[in-house]
Amino acid sequence: MKTLVTMGRGGTGKTSFVALQTKFFVEQNETPLLLVDVDPDQNLAEMVGVDLEREGVKTIAELVTDTFIRKGGTMTGIAPTERIETRVFEEGLYEGDDFDLIAVGTKWIEGCYCMPDAALKGALESLTKNYRYVLIDSPAGLEHLNRKITARVNDIFDIMGPSHKSFEHVKRADRITREVGIGFDRFFVVGGCLFPADLEETARKETRQQYLGKIIFDPLVQESVIAGWSLLDIMESSPAYRSVSALMEKTGYGKAR
């Protein structure tokens, strides 16, 4: 089992990158996969063709709210996170043919994600051994990684946009993962579809990370995201998909392995 975390500022295309990663592994028969959406925007499920509400699957934040607010569950006795973990397996896990999916969801109350993250960490410790790859879609704020939802990561992909803040995000992400003790093997920088080609050399020098290349802009991907269509149905000839496939093979996954 390998864990791959994708992060980046909003609008860089990180969630579509995770969805196309998913398509890549499915096409390579590198399954089963566990997709973990810790971004409060909750776009990953839609991008891989899953309607959690229609499937009757709740986010972890919804389960926390239901257990401790709507039903007035006690915080004593069984540890709160253990109480939620059981419900995550029963009600918070979408199970598909090639991949399963868990979403943290939006904040359960005003404040932090501490309890949902603790529940997710416990669930992942139990679940991950059942999968070939765990793909985590992480938000720009990095608060979830800061609370160590997973203590071990194989590869980190930071998707960059055309802004100074994207450069700073890469540096901050590298610092935080080291400061909180998250072990990782490799840290890759990827240019999002709007990242200018003339900044690629700058990205290599300023981030001091391995720059893999960029995701090619594809109008069909943009149209699919806007319309809410699954990126798993994108043609293999799609420039965006082909570029993501090439990036994954460059890192040693798939046919080039």
DSSP 75: S
**Residue 46's pLDDT is what?**
94
Beta carbons of 36 and 6 less than 8 angstroms apart? no
**Residue 82's pLDDT is what?**
65
Any alpha helices (H) in 92-229, and if so which ranges? 114-127, 143-146, 164-179, 200-207, 219-227
In 3D, which of 201, 130, 148 has the Cα closest to residue 5? Answer: 148
Poorest-pLDDT segment among 1-15, 118-132, 196-210, 227-241: 118-132
Poorest-pLDDT segment among 40-49, 114-123, 228-237: 114-123
- Could you give the count of Cα atoms lying within 13 Å of 52 in the half-sphere of its Cβ? 22
CB atoms under 10 Å from CB of 150, counted, come to 20
Domains of the chain and any CATH numbers: 2-252 (3.40.50.300)
Residue 204 confidence (pLDDT) above 60:
yes
Average pLDDT in the chain: 82
**Residue 38's pLDDT is what?**
86
Q: What's the pLDDT tens digit per position in 62-81?
A: 887 777 655 544 444 445 55
CA separation for the pair 92, 213 (Å, rounded) = 35
Q: What's the pLDDT tens digit per position in 102-144?
A: 988 775 555 555 666 666 776 777 777 889 999 999 876 555 5
pTM of the model: 0.85
Beta carbons of 135 and 4 less than 8 angstroms apart? yes
In 3D, which of 94, 74, 79 has the Cα closest to residue 32? Answer: 94
**Residue 144's pLDDT is what?**
55
User: Which burial class, exposed, middle or buried, applies to 126 when counting CB atoms under 10 A from its CB (0-12, 13-18, 19+)?
Assistant: exposed
Strand partners, 6: 137, 157
In the numeric block, the tokens 């679940």 are attached to: 127
**Residue 57's pLDDT is what?**
92
CA separation for the pair 257, 254 (Å, rounded) = 6
**At 227, is the secondary structure helix, strand, or coil?**
helix
CA separation for the pair 224, 7 (Å, rounded) = 21
Q: What's the pLDDT tens digit per position in 164-180?
A: 888 888 888 878 777 77
**Residue 115's pLDDT is what?**
63
Q: Which of 38-42, 172-176, 233-237 has the highest mean pLDDT?
A: 233-237
**Residue 74's pLDDT is what?**
47
In 3D, which of 222, 170, 220, 175 has the Cα closest to residue 191? Answer: 170
Q: How many degrees, rounded to 5, is the angle at CA 16 between CA 177 and CA 88?
A: 65
Poorest-pLDDT segment among 6-10, 67-71, 230-234: 67-71
